[in-house]
Structure 1
């Protein structure tokens, strides 16, 4: 017999859990589907030494403060444990090992959520799979030697798992910089830079996020003039920069990577280096090919307004710049979830 719910939430990370919190308060029948084995596994799969870039006061999900006794910046495992505790505290109906393979709209306006041979039906669906989905690598790598080990930063764990030898880290953001620094302790490291913006960790004696929130820069909305300008800027980093890596850890800085061929990498400026390993810290793209509804643009990105699509009952949550500058951050998804809960309540009646 097919299970039926008011709402199916796809994704059991921070966005899906925040959505579940508000649906539970409404008394809705709902389920949160996630393909992982444990709540928080998306964090546990990141590199071993990862720490959040946001201090504790800015990591709260609705209804449960982030633990304040986890050091200046929480680790990967502490963050995963917080999400697990969140689901347990509010008794959220998270169904693990439930990998969604298709989302279809039925003739009556309801939705069929497919997980292999299993199907559940819902009057509404919230896609909360997050801002970081499919690893993105911008270059043609078909001419790279099979002897060169290459991984995306999402698959990096620690230096011990990589072979010895010169290593190139491609990128200059909040993943690339700490990974390059960590690897520099065991090998020669090159770091290839594109367009770069960097913010200091502290300013006038306070953490940079204190100022970003005090000056309401994290509240800037996507449709505002300032929001449009901020979205045009290249991805930035907080605190640690490539130049810090070069000065303090001996990382060799290179220009943008132009070509990879054999075991050689050619960078902007004409420099060519031989490497044993490449770590692509080049970000993520969208992965919504399983959604069988007209809600994606030519790039595969959701077309929405504050997470609400033109298909009645279909919503997105946890996107970068979903509505505010801080929408995709751990402490930012709650407000978008609350807004969508209101829209869902109106839709479901």
Structure 2
């Protein structure tokens, strides 16, 4: 297999990787971006049909190229996918797709990245693959009957894929909330929440809630500071009041944490039980950095050890992680700040 050399190799060709590429190009650094997808924006295109960002377009752009359209409106997933494709073309970023990384090692001061299509040697590596790798589903799903339709949010597309009858959405983050609201239009919906839900409006006094967060310093509050530490422990709120309204109207019925399931029946934390024909697992993802084979890079839970994206291993960086440095670190409109910081460290 061929071996290519570069000063900086960026692993991940979505928003974080492209933002890093933008800043490295400004510095005339020799770099490459590699990604697994067949087409830029592929991760976004594969998400459920009704997915809409909760950040308005004014706060959903990468550095150097604003997202077109109503700045106070909200972009759909395919719009973001097209934007990422346009962004890479606009800045002529060196992106190589359909490149799956099998391992990352460091030998004699150089990083070696082994992929299915060849090897790369680099002085610096930026892991911009994001935090969402393996869909997580509780182990008790295996005890469900074969005729119960079940799907993780990463594979769910629209209501037409479900069987007739009631549906249980397990997990009450923003994805679970959006999907539950969509399904409640024409079927019986239950939503299982393992925590108390907090709601924030999309608009406040005619301005986006993100406009207020920006003006009040919330978006730039660092995880090193008191406010940032407090906010990072709170978990994400649900943006918008649509779900709350549907619950009040009785169109969505809330259940506590799902504890177990067997056959056609689910059991919840309060020991109540429910029989449904469909379940959507809005239970998030787990990181998978097992391909990084360098000591001291990952903690005992398999998560990156870093401060502001800088790992203990010289020349190895992470980008696009939740609360990497601020609330906006994992958002399209906030990743640029971290990308600029990391790019200045690449030598």
Instruction: Judge conservation of contact 1:308–1:316 (CA < 8 Å) in 2.
Output: yes
Alignment RMSD? 1.5
* Counterpart residue number, 1:13: 14
1:33 aligned onto 2:38: no
User: Which residues in structure 2 correspond to 1:58-69 (within 5 Å)?
Assistant: 58-69=59-70
* Counterpart residue number, 1:205: 206
* Structure 2: stretches of 5+ with no match in the other structure: none
* Counterpart residue number, 1:22: 23
* Counterpart residue number, 1:328: 330
* Counterpart residue number, 2:290: 289
* Counterpart residue number, 2:113: 113
* Structure 1: stretches of 5+ with no match in the other structure: none
* Counterpart residue number, 2:303: 301
Deviation string, structure 1 residues 122-157 (Cα, Å, up to 9, x no partner): 111000011322222345323222221211111110
Cα separation, 1, equivalents of 2:79 and 2:304: 31
Distance 1:234-1:246 versus aligned 2 partners, 3 A rule: same
Deviation string, structure 1 residues 50-86 (Cα, Å, up to 9, x no partner): 1111011111211101112487101111111110000
Q: Secondary structure at the match of 1:155?
A: coil
* Counterpart residue number, 1:316: 318
* Counterpart residue number, 1:339: 341
* Counterpart residue number, 1:124: 124
1:174 aligned onto 2:174: yes
Instruction: Judge conservation of contact 1:70–1:78 (CA < 8 Å) in 2.
Output: no
Instruction: Judge conservation of contact 1:180–1:245 (CA < 8 Å) in 2.
Output: no
Q: For structure 1, which segment, 82-91 or 180-189, has the greater mean C-alpha deviation from structure 2 after superposition?
A: 180-189
**Structure 1 length normalisation: TM-score?**
0.95
Instruction: Judge conservation of contact 2:54–2:202 (CA < 8 Å) in 1.
Output: no
Cα separation, 1, equivalents of 2:94 and 2:175: 32
* Counterpart residue number, 1:90: 91
Instruction: Judge conservation of contact 1:191–1:242 (CA < 8 Å) in 2.
Output: no
Q: For structure 1, which segment, 230-239 or 25-34, has the greater mean C-alpha deviation from structure 2 after superposition?
A: 230-239
User: Which residues in structure 2 correspond to 1:40-59 (within 5 Å)?
Assistant: 40-59=41-60
Deviation at 1:324, TM superposition (A): 0.8
1:222 aligned onto 2:194: no
The ranges of structure 1 where at least 4 consecutive aligned residues each deviate by more than 4 angstroms after the TM superposition are none
The alignment covers a number of residue pairs equal to 344
Cα separation, 1, equivalents of 2:105 and 2:245: 49
Distance 1:249-1:59 versus aligned 2 partners, 3 A rule: farther
User: Which residues in structure 2 correspond to 1:231-310 (within 5 Å)?
Assistant: 231-240=232-241, 242-248=243-249, 250-294=251-295, 295-310=297-312
Distance 1:65-1:156 versus aligned 2 partners, 3 A rule: same
